[in-house]
Structure 1
Amino acid sequence: MTADAPLAEIHHAHRDVGGGWLRPAAFGVMDGLVSNFALVAGVVGGGAEPRTVLVTGLAGLAAGACSMATGEYTSVSSQNELTRAEIDKERLELERNPDGELRELTLIYEAKGVTPALAADVARELTADPDVAWRVHVREELGVDPDDLPSPWTAAGSSFLAFTLGALIPLLPFLLGAATLLPALVASAAGLLLAGGLIARLTARPAWFGGGRQLLLGGLSAAVTFGIGLLVGTGVA
């Protein structure tokens, strides 16, 4: 590679791993699909009529999507509030004890393999500007980027939409007039394979591994609730 090579040839792009959308989206679509498929299976196992199954599934979709969005918003907001509190503490320490914080940053760089003299020079250079100093300390000590905290709205919206999409899959056959669990079983199995495979590809894992794993876990969940519904329905009858 030559020194005058274009930047596009020597720099490789990375995917966004900290935007706050992938985890809630992946969790949401799987939770929606598995939980609603399991709910539908349990209700069918209990002997419910198709209309009752559909109403129960739609209620589960609405309740689950709202619950997921609320939980994600609260979780990310709380994490950000804790992070900002620690940032404020770090900025206060830099004002009260700049020499101590300088030594701390120097030791951090030494622990990473930088020679003591160079570590001290780097620490001094980075802390010369107060606006840069606290950001450097936050990144090195807390391991977070203060300028790129995850958005609670992004997490909540991703979770809500993903859960809704996943939860609709086992309901589609009933919306189209199905009277048995078999069409929902086929649709849910296909959805689990597809969603698991796509998520696996996003995380650089084999599609067959992600799809198979989700199919196995989702199938076990539905089998458990179907069995419980069957037992309870028989007992009530």
Structure 2
Amino acid sequence: MNNASFRARHYHDVLDPHRRISWLADVILGGQDGLVNVLGVILGVAAATGSTRMVLVAGLATACAESVSMAAVGYTSTTAEGDHFKSERAREYRHIVAVPQLERAEIREIYERKGFSGALLEQIVETITKDKDVWVAVMMAEEHRLVDVDRRSSARAAGVIGLAALVGSLLPLAPFLFFSARAGAWVAVLLGALSLFAVGAYKARATIGHPLRSGFELALIGTVSALVGYVIGAALPVATYP
């Protein structure tokens, strides 16, 4: 790839709002999941044992497992989308050969719903159906609402989700490096709630919605979910040994 092509692709990746939103969704998915899951685990361990060491061990183990698991889920889910796209595209190619009139009628119906009619509608249908590749591409986009996902994109999404999950998982562990298990638990809850609020507010600014409401909702949902772990740990205390 020459320098001009590389720069063009770089600016497209950075400035294209659709790509930015996709990356934002991956970061939020991984970060929120990692933070809430690990926070729930460490709150439960802190309530059950009162041991900072146990909290850190359990939290680190969960953080590592969570990041790998989320990366794997991100990869398999996006490759599944790509496989589904390819399967539907192959089916459309078969259909335009086996039942071209039916498929042509579907194209006509799609553009009728968009407000086209008469000679212009017929010209659109004729232009699209002259080329099988264009015909199938229109069907995939307009009828099925599907887009292709290649393996490289799947790997990139997996990396973003896994890294975000790791960062989100480690965040609530930080207070336990400086506080006792009991105090660290409440500092972790506060830190987690503030982080989730910031993520929710930023998501609303980057997409659509009210930043304060979005931030509050995400913080509330995540905090309540994590506190379930604390309740279970408090209800099932265990003795710890040196």
Above 0.5 in TM-score? Answer: yes
Contact 1:194 1:211 in 2 (8 A): yes
3-state SS of paired residue (2:179): coil
Structure 1 gap segments, 5+ residues each: 1-12
Structure 1: how far apart are the matches of 2:28 and 2:72? 16
Which of 208, 222, 226 is the matching residue for 1:222?
226
Q: Could you say which residue in structure 2 is the equivalent of 1:127?
A: 129
Q: Could you say which residue in structure 1 is the equivalent of 2:179?
A: 178
Which of 75, 86, 89 is the matching residue for 2:88?
86
Q: Could you say which residue in structure 2 is the equivalent of 1:3?
A: none
Structure 2: how far apart are the matches of 1:112 and 1:123? 13
Which of 224, 230, 235 is the matching residue for 1:231?
235
3-state SS of paired residue (2:18): coil
Q: Could you say which residue in structure 1 is the equivalent of 2:69?
A: 67
TM-score for both structures, normalised by structure 1: 0.83
In the alignment, residue 60 of structure 1 is paired with which amino acid? T
Hey, which of these two has a bigger chunk of helix by percent?
2
Q: Could you say which residue in structure 1 is the equivalent of 2:24?
A: 22
Structure 1: how far apart are the matches of 2:100 and 2:76? 35
User: Do the aligned partners of residues 36 and 201 (structure 1) sit closer, same or farther apart at CA in structure 2, a change above 3 Å counting?
Assistant: same
TM-score for both structures, normalised by structure 2: 0.82
Q: Could you say which residue in structure 2 is the equivalent of 1:50?
A: 52
User: Do the aligned partners of residues 84 and 18 (structure 1) sit closer, same or farther apart at CA in structure 2, a change above 3 Å counting?
Assistant: farther
Alignment: residue pair count: 223
Structure 2 gap segments, 5+ residues each: 1-14
Q: Could you say which residue in structure 1 is the equivalent of 2:200?
A: 196
In the alignment, residue 70 of structure 1 is paired with which amino acid? A
Q: Could you say which residue in structure 2 is the equivalent of 1:34?
A: 36
Residue 170 of structure 1: how far off its partner (Å): 0.5
Residue 103 of structure 1: how far off its partner (Å): 2.4
Query: Could you say what the CA RMSD is over the residues aligned between the two structures, in angstroms?
Result: 2.6
Moved more, 30-39 or 90-99: 90-99
Residue 58 of structure 1: how far off its partner (Å): 0.6
3-state SS of paired residue (1:46): helix
Structure 2: how far apart are the matches of 1:44 and 1:182? 10
In the alignment, residue 178 of structure 2 is paired with which amino acid? G
**What do the CA deviations read for 1:169-204 (whole angstroms, capped 9, x no partner)?**
101122x33213233233222212222222222222
Q: Percent identity?
A: 32
